[in-house]
Amino acid sequence: MSSNNYYDVTTWPVGNPSKDVGEVINSIIADIKDRQTQIDVNNGGKPGAVIYIPPGDYHLRTQVVIDVSFLRIEGSGHGFTSSSIRFNVPEDEWPDLHELWPGGSRIIVDLPLDGDGEESKGAAFYVERSGSPRISSVEFSNFCIDGLHFTSDGSGMPPENTYVNGKTGIYVANANDSFRVNGMGFVYLENALTIYNADALSIHDNFIAECGSCIELRGWGQASKITDNLVGAGPKGHSIFAENHGGLLITANNVFPRGASSVHFQGVTRSSVTNNRLHSFYPGMLILAANSSENLVATNHFLRDHEPWTPFLGVDNGLDDLNGLLCVSGSNNSVIGNHFSQIIDAQSIRPAGATPVIIRLMAGVGNFVSNNHVVAMDVHVTSSDSCFEAQVDALLTTETSDGLAVTAVMVDSESARNTILDSGSDAQVIADRAVNAFRATPTVGFPPTTEK
Amino acid sequence: MSSNNYYDVTTWPVGNPSKDVGEVINSIIADIKDRQTQIDVNNGGKPGAVIYIPPGDYHLRTQVVIDVSFLRIEGSGHGFTSSSIRFNVPEDEWPDLHELWPGGSRIIVDLPLDGDGEESKGAAFYVERSGSPRISSVEFSNFCIDGLHFTSDGSGMPPENTYVNGKTGIYVANANDSFRVNGMGFVYLENALTIYNADALSIHDNFIAECGSCIELRGWGQASKITDNLVGAGPKGHSIFAENHGGLLITANNVFPRGASSVHFQGVTRSSVTNNRLHSFYPGMLILAANSSENLVATNHFLRDHEPWTPFLGVDNGLDDLNGLLCVSGSNNSVIGNHFSQIIDAQSIRPAGATPVIIRLMAGVGNFVSNNHVVAMDVHVTSSDSCFEAQVDALLTTETSDGLAVTAVMVDSESARNTILDSGSDAQVIADRAVNAFRATPTVGFPPTTEK
Amino acid sequence: MSSNNYYDVTTWPVGNPSKDVGEVINSIIADIKDRQTQIDVNNGGKPGAVIYIPPGDYHLRTQVVIDVSFLRIEGSGHGFTSSSIRFNVPEDEWPDLHELWPGGSRIIVDLPLDGDGEESKGAAFYVERSGSPRISSVEFSNFCIDGLHFTSDGSGMPPENTYVNGKTGIYVANANDSFRVNGMGFVYLENALTIYNADALSIHDNFIAECGSCIELRGWGQASKITDNLVGAGPKGHSIFAENHGGLLITANNVFPRGASSVHFQGVTRSSVTNNRLHSFYPGMLILAANSSENLVATNHFLRDHEPWTPFLGVDNGLDDLNGLLCVSGSNNSVIGNHFSQIIDAQSIRPAGATPVIIRLMAGVGNFVSNNHVVAMDVHVTSSDSCFEAQVDALLTTETSDGLAVTAVMVDSESARNTILDSGSDAQVIADRAVNAFRATPTVGFPPTTEK
């Protein structure tokens, strides 16, 4: 390109992008800062730049440090492929595989990790700027960040199945405004995207899978959106996590297993989780914790079934079936028009013999739970060595031996003054009717209808 | 561009992109495969490439065959314009038109069709790779695929109005993972997008109109999304079709006429059709067929009215008004919070004198139909030679001679144990109350309210 | 780039893009029209072009006039930063700021304004073409349009806080088809985006803030979508406005303060406002006016609280608290499954001592209001000089002195035959039960439940 605010990592004179694209990008950022120094109160600016990463493999051995606004880093391919499936293919079959690794515009995170546990050091892209104004409009678009390998976690799980390696894709340490993460691919990172103190952030249309945790909005923040992503974390991590955020919109995401939770709110208020497709192998899919209040949880599709893929059989998040698929510790939330499918083997229920809970109100007041539909079935689980086929088979199975009794809504004594309407029959809702308003979903013949 | 994984069809030395861009792209793919042959178990990869198609007209006379992962084909303009309107402008007015054809980065599908009916042969882009792993992360972005002309179908319909020409835009024959189709335009193809066995596919923000069928997900698949598209098929085809998929998320689409259906599920389970705007000129807008089960159909806007554009008057999909706008043959689905507008001429109802049905449960058990609002009006239809004005006029018309009696919900005897709440008055719901739970939408004075 | 349909404003031989990018782009458009003149009834076309704007500051002193289809104008950065916060930082602190202005691919609107009030003259990009076909597939992508300064409006408000300057970002004057506005940034314009007579328009994933009005769809139109945007207008303007549109889909937007309304419909029919997050400092957040009918308003999160930022204290939209957060003058609309949070200081209610209204049905018939959840709290307002911190603090505050009594639904005598279900207790709904169907949200002990 002709403009001097357009950079291509493969043509920049400093460093070797194949060997260390981090050194190259840092050198480019230094150049931007050298050239864009003028403060002009009339109207001149520091417009930032775009750094282009063509398709290719780029090792990153130096952390990229971003402290300029209006920087766009852009590739030409999100490059996801399942490393998890590949690592679980016997090694003697690898020569028969078409390819072994993710691709596209692929950053291979090869940072030296000293194991001191300082999370930010393991980030491929580290955004850090204090002072005013907050760093704004940094954009990441259409490239791949690949952590390459997981490592042993001491549990006996094969190293490549641990979701642990101390690596993070993008880490934003300070208050920020109007950032965008679009069309990216993240794979085999312990943390894909960790962002503190976000305002008007957009995380849209990304592919974030086979990472320990996928999206974490930490600290506090407001008015952001997480929309239209394909997301799936590991059994110890979060697919989507937010703390102390207000006005967050989480919609149109397809969140697949095997995250410990699908969406986890910690002290989040006045936010929306609407219209997502959520799929998990464990209870505790959507958690509104730490007084998360006045949120809207509506028209989501929840599916909880069993892990069908052999390498992960027996792995879970430690929660038993009384926790519910949706767990609320907070007040004045709205839970409206969701579909819940609980498709499990009755033999696997924990505690053994318990009646699984779908929606559980643990603490708080004034929640409104209305028009939710619960489907529960007892199935015999079959697992397979083939991940895709196993998952599709499981998803399409609707033949069952029998229905499964569940508690559609359980209200703990620490939660009161809730309203529960048309979300379960009288027998399916455990709530103190003296302190919670309740209307049972009508069943045949009850309540008796009086014809005009 | 500088990188050797970036290709521009207009600068590639083999072939002439204006005359046959297919030959050019196949030559580029061959080059990618020649160069990217190494299997490196340490971390080298086959990163794929991006092929850029600048704005321009490119005839495609050789089918593009894609068998490499991480290939991105990218243009700079979706290029849609209505060919249908233009072909219905009298020919002597053509010299007065600003332009005659679609544009942008425009692939003109000029494949030799031998008429043997083998559908895949008519595809401009044919993706086919067997073996492991599944082909991954192929991306199509921001260009136009134009089928140019429709052909006579023997019905007497003018050839350009038949939606038939044996051409397909993109055809994916094998199991695939993490594909993306974004920002594309498709026009005048018999099939725009036909994809078998998709996993984690994203079809997002495309313009797919004036095609026989628009989006067909065939075979089986899982965890995909069809989001934020503008879509409209022809009277014999599908706007959005899926079979044997699980965990599919269809949301935020604006589906306009004149597809035989707006969304058609065949054996689809645990999927979502939420938050779409659906508009059709016929019954059978959303079809859950072949035991499609545990799906969530929520907060969609359904509008069924009459064809107002002269060239298509009298065309329909063959279904009568007892079929319903939403037809369910399956179990445990949730139908919650949808709006239905049925704006038709009572004189046109078929069978004559029948009471049209809005939601019909044909077979299955355990469906939950709650909080749907049905509006029905009897209007006098006026048609026009001008497509846009006619449609807008029709859409904005709310003056009516009279209300129209409808059956809001009809439950066939083959369907039982459903729950129907607040989706129609007692008189508007035809269901055996002995086997289905029912609560009528309250009407004035009924049920009597007991004040505290 | 190699193709002659690809233009870069920084390499075009006519004009100086830094000084007047308008002259440059107009010269490019003239070149496109010179070269693409052929009408070819066989299959040749006028494919249009892409004009690339690299990151940089570009003054626009000549209005860009677009009268060709298939033109894509594309940058590499939406470049938003808050000019509003910066202008409210004391001037002696400016030298300490990292940057003073928005950035990215930034068009600085420097048009000479003669103050004659002709709005279209103040547009940076003016799209105008009459005749047939309608102009199609113009695309604006990923650049910034910055109005630079606001000007005094005579009210005594500091000039930079007025939202007035006579400048518009993009103004489309004629009927148009299949336009796209994606990934753009708009800031400090009196009107960001004004589009007349749109068909199948897509406004997707933009950042439109600190503009007087953000999105206005005027005239009439159909089948468009406004999706996944971050939007926030000024106190005298519209965040999202549409008139005489049918089949409009507004979803997945995060609309923040301080627009006079969040979404305003004027004579809009059969459209959807679903699944948005709406936040306002005033009543009148969502207005369905002028017989707006058969619309679906579902699963939105409404938050109305108080302005916490010192510079705008005391500013409002003139509406009192009896207007409702959602105001309906129209028929047969569906209002389903929304969450409303009204978090205000009881001392500030106007008229003093009134009971604030949440949903108000002012005129029309047949509206269906069901399953909405209203939360109301009386809070003590604290304001701050720091915008971001103030807003986040306010958003996260759920401690209250007390609950606040509200009218959840008020039905005026001009509105009748509505159905109001589970959207407020008996005491919270003011409606003539003789002409409106009503079912109160159950409260503890009422209605009495009869156990089987």
The model's pLDDT over B285-301, given as tens digits with 9 standing for 90+, comes to 999 999 999 999 999 99
Do strands A373-378 and A402-403 pair parallel, antiparallel, or not at all (unpaired)? antiparallel
Strand partners, B230: B207, B254
pLDDT recorded at residue C346: 94
Specify burial of residue B90 (Cβ count, 10 A radius: 0-12, 13-18, 19+): exposed
Specify burial of residue A113 (Cβ count, 10 A radius: 0-12, 13-18, 19+): middle
pLDDT recorded at residue A357: 98
Residue A395, pLDDT above cutoff 90: no
- Nearest Cα residue in chain B from A449: B439
Mutate to test the interface with B, among C71, C132, C218 (most CBs of B within 10 A): C132
Specify burial of residue C190 (Cβ count, 10 A radius: 0-12, 13-18, 19+): buried
Residue B372, pLDDT above cutoff 50: yes
Asked if B422 lies within 8 A of C426 by C-beta distance, the reply is no
Residue B118 and residue B360: Cα distance in Å, rounded? 36
Phi/psi at C313 (nearest 5 deg)? Answer: -60, 135
Query: Model confidence at B42, in pLDDT bands (50, 70, 90)?
Result: low
Residue of B369 and B114 predicted with greater confidence = B369
- Maximum CA pair distance of chain C? 85
Residue B316 and residue C160: Cα distance in Å, rounded? 57
Q: Which residues of B touch A80 (CB under 8 A)?
A: 136-137, 177-178, 200
Strand partners, C429: C409
Q: Which residues of B touch A108 (CB under 8 A)?
A: 43
pLDDT of chain C, 452 residues: tens digit per residue: 335 899 999 999 999 999 999 999 999 999 999 999 866 666 667 999 999 999 999 999 999 999 999 999 999 999 999 999 999 999 999 989 999 999 999 999 999 887 777 899 999 999 999 999 999 999 999 999 999 999 999 999 999 999 999 999 999 999 999 999 999 999 999 999 999 999 999 999 999 999 999 999 999 999 999 999 999 999 999 999 999 999 999 999 999 999 999 999 999 999 999 999 999 999 999 999 999 999 999 999 999 999 999 999 999 999 999 999 999 999 999 999 999 999 999 999 999 999 999 999 999 999 999 999 999 999 987 788 888 877 888 888 776 656 899 999 999 999 999 999 999 999 999 999 999 999 999 999 777 554 43
Asked if A6 lies within 8 A of C55 by C-beta distance, the reply is yes
- Nearest Cα residue in chain C from B251: C251
**AA identity, residue A443:** T
Asked if B398 lies within 8 A of C1 by C-beta distance, the reply is no
pLDDT recorded at residue A450: 47
Mutate to test the interface with B, among A256, A281, A371, A374 (most CBs of B within 10 A): A371
Residue of A384 and A177 predicted with greater confidence = A177
Distance from CA of A150 to the nearest CA of C (A): 34
The per-residue pLDDT for range A32-86, each reduced to its tens digit, is 999 998 666 666 679 999 999 999 999 999 999 999 999 999 999 999 999 999 9
Asked if B249 lies within 8 A of A276 by C-beta distance, the reply is yes
Residue A26, pLDDT above cutoff 80: yes
Q: Which residues of C touch B205 (CB under 8 A)?
A: 182, 202, 204
Q: Which residues of C touch B100 (CB under 8 A)?
A: 39-41, 45
Average pLDDT over chain B reads 94
- Nearest Cα residue in chain B from C221: B392
Phi/psi at B24 (nearest 5 deg)? Answer: -60, -50
pLDDT recorded at residue A156: 92
Q: Which residues of A touch B274 (CB under 8 A)?
A: 275, 299, 301
Residue of B381 and B121 predicted with greater confidence = B121
Contact A59, A18 (CB under 8 A): yes
Predicted complex: ipTM over 0.95: yes
pLDDT recorded at residue B44: 67
CA angle at residue C297 from C296 to C299, to 5 degrees? 120
C160 DSSP 8-state letter: G
Residue A115 and residue C274: Cα distance in Å, rounded? 47
Residue B450, pLDDT above cutoff 50: no
pLDDT recorded at residue C451: 42
pLDDT, mean of residues A150-178: 96
Q: Nearest Cβ partner of C299 from A5, A221, A296?
A: A296
Chain center to CA of A256: 9
C356 DSSP 8-state letter: -
Q: Nearest Cβ partner of A55 from B48, B136, B222?
A: B48
Give the residue among C313, C335, C331 at the shortest CA–CA distance from C416: C331
pLDDT recorded at residue C452: 38
pLDDT, mean of residues B146-158: 95
Q: Nearest Cβ partner of C204 from B77, B98, B205?
A: B205
The per-residue pLDDT for range A248-292, each reduced to its tens digit, is 999 999 999 999 999 999 999 999 999 999 999 999 999 999 999
- Nearest Cα residue in chain C from A38: C99
pLDDT recorded at residue C394: 82
Mutate to test the interface with B, among C7, C42, C69, C73 (most CBs of B within 10 A): C69
Residue C58 and residue C104: Cα distance in Å, rounded? 10
pLDDT recorded at residue C113: 80
Asked if B185 lies within 8 A of C137 by C-beta distance, the reply is yes
The CA-atom distances, in angstroms, between B267 and each of B227, B262, C251 are 20, 16, 28
Residue C72 and residue B74: Cα distance in Å, rounded? 14
- Nearest Cα residue in chain B from C331: B398
Asked if B47 lies within 8 A of A97 by C-beta distance, the reply is no
pLDDT recorded at residue A41: 66
Say yes or no: A174 contacts chain C, CB-CB below 8 A. Answer: no
The per-residue pLDDT for range A340-360, each reduced to its tens digit, is 999 999 999 999 999 999 999
Residue B397, pLDDT above cutoff 70: yes
Q: Nearest Cβ partner of A279 from B129, B199, B247?
A: B247
Residue partners of C87: CB distance under 8 A and separation at least 6: C158, C160, C161
**Please, which residues 285-324 of chain B have a Cβ atom closer than 8 Å to chain A?**
291, 293-296, 298-299
Residue A155 and residue A141: Cα distance in Å, rounded? 36
Contact A202, A180 (CB under 8 A): yes
Give the residue among B336, B238, B244 at the shortest CA–CA distance from B290: B244
Element (H, E) at B393: helix B387-396
pLDDT recorded at residue B413: 97
Asked if B200 lies within 8 A of A185 by C-beta distance, the reply is no
- Nearest Cα residue in chain A from C53: A3
| pTM assigned to the model | 0.97
Residue A413 and residue A433: Cα distance in Å, rounded? 11
Mutate to test the interface with A, among C110, C207, C250, C277 (most CBs of A within 10 A): C277
pLDDT recorded at residue C389: 79
**Please, which residues 83-142 of chain C have a Cβ atom closer than 8 Å to chain B?**
129, 131-137, 139
Asked if C137 lies within 8 A of B388 by C-beta distance, the reply is no
Contact B170, B158 (CB under 8 A): no
Residue A1, pLDDT above cutoff 50: no
Residue A452, pLDDT above cutoff 50: no
**Please, which residues 203-262 of chain A have a Cβ atom closer than 8 Å to chain C?**
204, 220-225, 227-228, 244, 246-249, 251-252
